[in-house]
Amino acid sequence: MTATVANIDNSQIVTLVLTAVTLPFVAFLINFLLLQKSKVSGWVSTAAILCSAILAVKILIALWNQKPITAQFAWFQIGITRYYAGIWLNNLSVLMLALVPLIALPVHIYSTAYMKHDSGYGRYFTYLSLFCFSMMALVVMRSMLLMYAFWELVGFSSYLLIGFWYTRESAAAANKKAFIMNRIGDIGLLVAIMIIYAMFHTFNMDRIFGEAGLIRKSSINGLVWTTLFEHMSAYWQYVAAAGLFLAVAAKSAQFPLHTWLPDAMEGPTSVSALIHAATMVAAGVFLLGRFLPFFNGTELHILAIVGCLTAFMAATIALTQNDLKRILAYSTISQLGYMVMGIGIEAYPSALMHLVTHAFFKCLLFLVAGIVIHEMKHIKEENNLDIDPQDIRHMGGLRKKLPLTFLVTIIGALALIGLPLTSGYLSKDGILIHSFEWSEDNVNRFAFVPVMAVITTWITAFYVTRMVVKVFFGELQLLKSNPALSLHLTDGGLLYKLPLIFLALCSLFPLFSFNPLSYEHSWLFNGLASNFLVQKNNYHLFVPIIVGLGSVTTMYMAYLSYGKHKWAFPQGGFFNRLSSNEWYIDAFYSRVVVKGVLAFSCALYWFDKNIVDGLVHLLERIGLFLSRVSAWFDKYIVDGLLHTVAAIVEAIGNFARRFQNGKVQYYLYSMLLAVVIVFVLKLLIWS
Amino acid sequence: MITLTDFMLVSAALFCLGLFVVVSKKNAIQVLIGIELMLNAAILNLVAFGKYDRVNNGGQMFALFAIILAAATTAVALAIILNVYRQYKTIDPDKINRLKD
List, for residues B5-36, the tens digit of each pLDDT value: 999 999 999 999 999 999 888 899 999 999 99
Selection from A599-603, A658-662, B94-98 with the highest mean pLDDT:
A599-603
Higher pLDDT pick, A107 / A378:
A107
Give me the residue spans of the domains in chain A.
1-142, 346-480+489-563, 604-686
- The pLDDT tens digits for A356-382 are 899 999 999 999 999 888 888 888 888
Q: pLDDT category, A5, cuts 50, 70, 90?
A: very low
The predicted structure's pLDDT at residue A536 = 59
Q: pLDDT category, A645, cuts 50, 70, 90?
A: very high
Q: pLDDT category, A1, cuts 50, 70, 90?
A: very low
Task: Choose among B22, B93, B100: nearest Cβ to A660.
Answer: B100
Which range (A241-255, A378-392, A598-612) has the least confidence?
A378-392
- The pLDDT tens digits for A575-622 are 888 888 888 888 888 888 889 999 999 999 999 999 999 999 999 999
Q: Do A662 and B24 touch (CB under 8 A)?
A: no
φ/ψ of residue A220, rounded to 5 = -115, 110
Give yes or no for residue A528 having a pLDDT over 80.
no
Per-position DSSP letters for chain B, written without gaps between them: ---HHHHHHHHHHHHHHHHHHHHH-SSHHHHHHHHHHHHHHHHHHHHHHGGG-TTT-HHHHHHHHHHHHHHHHHHHHHHHHHHHHHHHS---TTT--TT--
Measured between alpha carbons, how far is A359 from A342 in angstroms, rounded to an integer? 16
A658 by DSSP, 3-state: which?
A: coil
- The pLDDT tens digits for A539-549 are 777 888 888 88
Give yes or no for residue A393 having a pLDDT over 70.
yes
Give yes or no for residue A423 having a pLDDT over 90.
no
Q: What is the residue-averaged pLDDT of chain A? A: 86
Amino acid at A414: L
Using an 8 Å CB-CB cutoff, list chain B residues near A660.
99-101
Query: Which of the 8 DSSP states describes residue A570?
Result: P
Q: pLDDT category, A91, cuts 50, 70, 90?
A: confident
- What are chain B's domains? 4-88 (1.10.287.3510)
Q: Does A538 touch chain B (CB under 8 A)?
A: no
Task: State the Cα angle at A51 between A50 and A52, rounded to 5°.
Answer: 90
3-class SS letters over A290-324: HHHHHCCHHHHHHHHHHHHHHHHHHHHHHCCCCEH
Measured between alpha carbons, how far is A143 from A563 in angstroms, rounded to an integer? 53
B16 to chain A: closest CA residue: A672
Task: Choose among B23, B98, B100: nearest Cβ to A665.
Answer: B23
- The pLDDT tens digits for B58-87 are 889 999 999 999 999 999 999 999 999 998
Chain B residues with CB-CB distance to A under 8 A? 19, 22-24, 31, 93-94, 96-101
Are A432 and A457 a contacting pair, CB within 8 Å?
Answer: yes
Q: pLDDT category, A7, cuts 50, 70, 90?
A: very low
Q: Does A669 touch chain B (CB under 8 A)?
A: yes
Amino acid at A277: A
Chain A with chain B: Cβ pairs closer than 8 A: 31
Selection from A99-103, A441-445, A619-623, A653-657 with the highest mean pLDDT:
A619-623
Q: Does A493 touch chain B (CB under 8 A)?
A: no
The reply to whether the predicted model has a pTM over 0.80 is no
Helix residue ranges per DSSP H, A559-612: 574-580, 585-588, 595-606
Measured between alpha carbons, how far is A348 from A346 in angstroms, rounded to an integer? 5
> How distant is the Cα of A660 from the closest Cα of chain B, in angstroms?
5
The predicted structure's pLDDT at residue B38 = 93
Q: pLDDT category, A3, cuts 50, 70, 90?
A: very low
Q: Does A663 touch chain B (CB under 8 A)?
A: yes
Q: Does A297 touch chain B (CB under 8 A)?
A: no
Please list, in sequence order, all residues whose beta carbon lies within 8 angstroms of the beta carbon of residue B76, skipping any fewer than 6 positions away: none
Q: Do A660 and B93 touch (CB under 8 A)?
A: no
A658 to chain B: closest CA residue: B100
Q: Does A679 touch chain B (CB under 8 A)?
A: no
A73 by DSSP, 3-state: which?
A: strand
Using an 8 Å CB-CB cutoff, list chain B residues near A664.
93, 96, 99
The terminus-to-terminus CA distance of chain A in angstroms comes to 144
Q: Does A654 touch chain B (CB under 8 A)?
A: no
